[in-house]
Chain A
Amino acid sequence: MTTILPRKDVVIVGLGWTGAILAHELTEGGLDVVAIERGPWRDTATDFNIGYAQDELRYGIRRDLFLQPAVEAMTMRNSTSQTALPMRDYGSFLPGNGVGGAGVHWNGHTWRFWDSDFQIADHLRDRYGAGRIQDLQLQNWGVTGAEMEKSFDRFEYLAGISGKAGNISGQIQEGGNPFEDPRARDYPLPPMQMTYAPTLFAEVTRSLNLHPFPTPSANLSKDYINPLGIAMGQCTMCGFCERFGCANYSKSSAQTTILPVLMKKKNFEVRTDSEVLHVDLDASKKHARGVTYVNTSGEEFFQPADMVLLCAYGLHNVRLMMLSGIGQIYDPNTGEGTIGRNYCYQTNAGAQVFFDDKNFNPFIAAGALGQTVDDYNGDAFDHGPLDFVGGAGINCIPSNGRPIQTRPTPPGTPRWGSDWKKATVKSYKSTLGFSSQGSSYPTRGNYLDLDPTYTDRFGRPLLRFTFDFPDNDIRMSNWVSDRMEDIAKAFGGRQYTNTRRKKGWDSVPYQSTHNTGGAIMGTDPKTSAVNKYLQSWDVANVFVIGASAFAHNAGKNPTGTVGALAFHAADVIRQQYLRNPGQPLVSA
């Protein structure tokens, strides 16, 4: 028995970063908007409470704020020759849950992807020839860096990003990232005050003729009032950032930048603890009628709407499209179908330097407080003589000293007993870590689809991952690890470790919650799920917003580009789509 609810102009699935941005923009445009959110209502004072937010066990280990596998799990395998099994607990990546989504417990590294990312296929073919990328399924995104600049700027000013511009309208700025695309103006806030480890990293990398700069951070360096009039506070470097909500109103999220304004609007409503089961299409399969969702008592509701915006986490967007029959599911054997295509991840590696004479006070930290070197990222360097494409940002961003998880010890240290204890105490404050965050480029055989065996609480198939690090990306990562070896040596510590990325994606240890692709944007409906405005090629009144749209992943955190794509879509919906609703914005 499904209860049919009164019609709305817009129904949004998920109220995280993208859902909140779209809801704010479209309610400003006078539309009646409802968001359906699977998880609970969450807000700073009650849920990220300053009296107990700093609880590593509860939030860091038991992961209270995250999606629980009992609610939705996913299955994984490295290749089609294996049988996918469910990740019974999330490990490698940790999807969010509840109002604010993964934007509640992110670290806050806020990047702009480059024009050479958005036009990657043309860019690399022109520079290196088509042969160089023949094993990869690289595609242009359908937009340019210049086109996206305004949307990046809006997201950075909404969020109050702290950083230093490297390139303002073509003028290289001292102390910023010289490899970034031109931006119209500097960040809204200056860089954060640096702790000791990133300060040392900047000195060492500069001595190697690299170009370190402060990582653009969503942990505020100063108090700030954003363009919506919402006040935020200065970050206190508490060291409880990733996996935690921020009790100081200092980490940008939907809660700290949008919801105080959005929630007061009469033409906005959120329904929490309500899971969307699918988008309902009409008989033609070309038009969405609304969404069906279920509440915590198991009652089903149908919410009719003129527009459906999928703003859940990227992976959930992809699965909802598959469960709803929007577009055709990708088949790696034929290359046909687009939903699930070009799933990418992140190709990371790390190094540690152990000192005898230094005290880094690792607990004085913030999620995005650090320094980055982009000299080996993307196509910032000449790949001519090399056997790979892509690159990695090298980051020294020591985000915490929380002791259940962060206890570095030199190789060969026992895991328990007296010697373990001595080494742990010796290394806790005197170890410096830095890491490479590498690009992840698409291949024909890395994809998402529905699992044939395992189902969720409602009997619907789970999302299935078939993924391993492509050979190109392993070669890239190892080449960057060679550069990291030089950096590690230059620190002059007692000893160092340099852990290299290998084949065989392991779903157990945490690596990165940067899952991209599966409902990618592009210029051709045969090879992309959505057009350059994130409108479904197949169902014109459905937009799919999130990192699901990335045609590949760069060596950067995705949120800045996700936020920019949300503004990019919101603008076109308000300025073009609503004049002629239900029509494709790009003719196929």
Chain B
Amino acid sequence: METHCLKRPTRRQFLSSVAFTILAGSAAPVMARSISGSLPWEARSADPPVQVKPGGWLFFTPEEAQTMEAVADRLVPADDLSLGGKDAGCVLYLDRQLVGSYGTSSRLYTKGPFMPGLATQGYQAPDTPAQRYRSGIAALNAFTRETKGGKRFAELAPTDQDAVLKDLEAGKITLPNKVDAKSFFNLMLANVMEGFFADPIYGGNKDMASWKMLGFPGARYDYRDHVSKHNQPYPLPPVSIAGSMEWMTR
């Protein structure tokens, strides 16, 4: 197993108990082992997520971050329903995802040969999400500089940004360096939405803004008292894995 936000040792690096026989010494975090005669259990052996702390970018350059914040603010615009994607922390979320296993595709099948494939066969290019953001953001800014009077995407007016995003989405734009506009748009959209709706512990969904907007109670785990109250609003505010609003330090 691996950690989700920040590198830290996992419980499996600290296993020692009569119930286990380590079959082989190894520096790997996961050890093959034999278990017999009892249920293996140790205190403090759970593997909770680690709270993302704002401050600094681990993957994005400042210019890339600014671009993505502008994109996030158009995909999830601020209005009377919720704050916008930038203030919700969608780019903080994305930055931390891109330095982890998601960004590097470390869990995926990445062996060649790489062939174009059919739509039914899914993503077949060798580039990881981290590489796709690096090249995609550069291509997006190169495109707007070229076609919008030398301005980067973040410098455009919101209506112009919307127009560019709509054309990206529809595949009407040819981006430089062979970046597939539609595919890059879909990647950004999926990740911004993940950040907006995921537990705030991952850096987005600040103050559970999206959950309050929907009326989703979040990490609550017992609805037995409301199951028979058909068609009646659920009375309690949302909670996060990290706790309730009162407990949260951000």
The answer on a CB contact under 8 Å between A297 and B216 is no
Q: How far is the CA of A272 from the CA of B12 in the complex (A)?
A: 12
List the A residue with the shortest CB-CB distance to B27: A297
A39 smallest CB distance to B (angstroms): 9
Q: How far is the CA of A51 from the CA of B240 in the complex (A)?
A: 10
User: How many chain A residues have a CB neighbour from B under 8 Å?
Assistant: 93
Question: Which residues in B have their C-beta under 8 angstroms from that of A273?
Answer: 30-33
The answer on a CB contact under 8 Å between A56 and B198 is yes
Partner of B123, one of A89, A240, A296, A361: A89
List the B residue with the shortest CB-CB distance to A91: B122
Of A111-119, A231-239, A375-383, the one contacting chain B is A231-239
Question: Which residues in window 432-453 of A have CB below 8 A to B?
Answer: 453
The answer on a CB contact under 8 Å between A453 and B227 is no
The answer on a CB contact under 8 Å between B233 and A359 is yes
B199 smallest CB distance to A (angstroms): 6
Question: Which residues in A have their C-beta under 8 angstroms from that of B214?
Answer: 403, 407, 424-425, 428-429
Given contacts A266-B37, A272-B35, A507-B121, contact A68 B74 (CB under 8 A): no
Question: Which residues in A have their C-beta under 8 angstroms from that of B37?
Answer: 263-266
Partner of A234, one of B113, B122, B224: B224
B111 smallest CB distance to A (angstroms): 7
The answer on a CB contact under 8 Å between B46 and A193 is no
Question: Which residues in A have their C-beta under 8 angstroms from that of B25?
Answer: 297
Q: Is B18 an interface residue (CB 8 A)?
A: no
The answer on a CB contact under 8 Å between A51 and B241 is yes
B149 smallest CB distance to A (angstroms): 24
Question: Which residues in window 179-218 of B have CB below 8 A to A?
Answer: 189, 193-194, 197-199, 201-202, 210-211, 213-218
Interface string of A26-48 (1 = CB under 8 A from B): 00000000000000110101110
List the B residue with the shortest CB-CB distance to A358: B231
The answer on a CB contact under 8 Å between A58 and B82 is no
Question: Which residues in B have their C-beta under 8 angstroms from that of A247?
Answer: 221
Partner of B35, one of A41, A52, A238, A415: A41
The answer on a CB contact under 8 Å between A429 and B215 is yes
Partner of B109, one of A54, A77, A87: A87
Q: Is A208 an interface residue (CB 8 A)?
A: no
Partner of A403, one of B32, B79, B120, B211: B211
The answer on a CB contact under 8 Å between B221 and A57 is no
List the B residue with the shortest CB-CB distance to A60: B198
Q: Is B162 an interface residue (CB 8 A)?
A: yes
The answer on a CB contact under 8 Å between A77 and B121 is yes
Of B58-66, B100-108, B130-138, B139-147, the one contacting chain A is B100-108
Q: How far is the CA of A269 from the CA of B211 in the complex (A)?
A: 45
Question: Which residues in A have their C-beta under 8 angstroms from that of B234?
Answer: 361, 363-364
Q: How far is the CA of A415 from the CA of B117 in the complex (A)?
A: 26
Question: Which residues in B have their C-beta under 8 angstroms from that of A504?
Answer: 120
Q: Is B110 an interface residue (CB 8 A)?
A: yes
The answer on a CB contact under 8 Å between A428 and B215 is yes
Q: Is A93 an interface residue (CB 8 A)?
A: no
Interface string of A63-89 (1 = CB under 8 A from B): 010001110010011100011011111
Question: Which residues in window 9-49 of B have CB below 8 A to A?
Answer: 11-12, 23-26, 28, 30-41, 45-49
Question: Which residues in B have their C-beta under 8 angstroms from that of A361?
Answer: 223, 226, 232-234
Partner of A270, one of B11, B36, B45: B36
Question: Which residues in B have their C-beta under 8 angstroms from that of A140?
Answer: none
Q: Is A248 an interface residue (CB 8 A)?
A: yes
The answer on a CB contact under 8 Å between A237 and B32 is no
Q: Is B157 an interface residue (CB 8 A)?
A: no
Question: Which residues in B have their C-beta under 8 angstroms from that of A49?
Answer: 46, 48
Q: Is A259 an interface residue (CB 8 A)?
A: yes
Q: How far is the CA of A43 from the CA of B4 in the complex (A)?
A: 20
The answer on a CB contact under 8 Å between B113 and A453 is yes
The answer on a CB contact under 8 Å between A455 and B226 is no
Q: How far is the CA of A196 from the CA of B24 in the complex (A)?
A: 54
Given contacts A88-B124, A260-B39, contact A237 B33 (CB under 8 A): no
B104 smallest CB distance to A (angstroms): 11
Q: Is B151 an interface residue (CB 8 A)?
A: no
The answer on a CB contact under 8 Å between B227 and A237 is yes
Question: Which residues in A have their C-beta under 8 angstroms from that of B199?
Answer: 55-57
The answer on a CB contact under 8 Å between B213 and A425 is yes
List the B residue with the shortest CB-CB distance to A200: B230
Q: Bin the interface of chain B by size.
A: 35 or more
List the B residue with the shortest CB-CB distance to A429: B215
Q: How far is the CA of A268 from the CA of B36 in the complex (A)?
A: 6
A137 smallest CB distance to B (angstroms): 23
Question: Which residues in A have their C-beta under 8 angstroms from that of B75?
Answer: 416-417
B14 smallest CB distance to A (angstroms): 13
The answer on a CB contact under 8 Å between A271 and B23 is yes
Given contacts A296-B26, A361-B226, contact A263 B122 (CB under 8 A): no
The answer on a CB contact under 8 Å between A73 and B109 is yes
List the B residue with the shortest CB-CB distance to A301: B23
Question: Which residues in B have their C-beta under 8 angstroms from that of A238?
Answer: 220-223
List the A residue with the shortest CB-CB distance to B115: A85
Given contacts A296-B24, A358-B231, A505-B120, contact A68 B108 (CB under 8 A): yes
A336 smallest CB distance to B (angstroms): 28
Q: How far is the CA of A445 from the CA of B118 in the complex (A)?
A: 19
Interface string of A501-513 (1 = CB under 8 A from B): 0001111100000
The answer on a CB contact under 8 Å between A296 and B32 is yes
Question: Which residues in B have their C-beta under 8 angstroms from that of A428?
Answer: 214-216
B224 smallest CB distance to A (angstroms): 5
B97 smallest CB distance to A (angstroms): 9
The answer on a CB contact under 8 Å between B48 and A87 is no
A10 smallest CB distance to B (angstroms): 14
List the B residue with the shortest CB-CB distance to A430: B231
Given contacts A51-B241, A64-B1, A273-B30, contact A421 B82 (CB under 8 A): yes
Partner of A269, one of B31, B36, B102: B36
Partner of A69, one of B109, B117, B197, B226: B109
Q: Is B76 an interface residue (CB 8 A)?
A: yes
Q: How far is the CA of A87 from the CA of B11 in the complex (A)?
A: 31
The answer on a CB contact under 8 Å between A421 and B79 is yes
Question: Which residues in B have their C-beta under 8 angstroms from that of A506?
Answer: 119-120
Q: Is B245 an interface residue (CB 8 A)?
A: no
Q: How far is the CA of A71 from the CA of B207 in the complex (A)?
A: 37
Q: A55-B201, A73-B109 are in contact. List 8 more A-B contacts (CB 8 A).
A: A70-B106, A76-B121, A88-B122, A238-B220, A263-B39, A359-B233, A429-B214, A453-B113
A residues with a Cβ closer than 8 A to B are 40-41, 43, 45-47, 49-58, 61-62, 64, 68-70, 73, 76-78, 82-83, 85-89, 91, 193-196, 199, 234, 236-240, 247-248, 259-260, 263-266, 268-274, 295-297, 299, 358-361, 363-364, 401-404, 407, 415-418, 421-422, 424-425, 428-429, 453-455, 504-508
Please, could you name 29 A-B residue pairs with CB atoms under 8 Å apart, sorted by A?
A43-B40, A46-B47, A52-B46, A54-B219, A62-B4, A68-B107, A69-B107, A70-B108, A85-B124, A87-B122, A88-B123, A89-B123, A194-B227, A238-B222, A240-B221, A260-B39, A263-B35, A263-B36, A263-B39, A271-B23, A296-B26, A296-B28, A296-B30, A361-B223, A404-B194, A416-B74, A417-B162, A418-B77, A421-B77
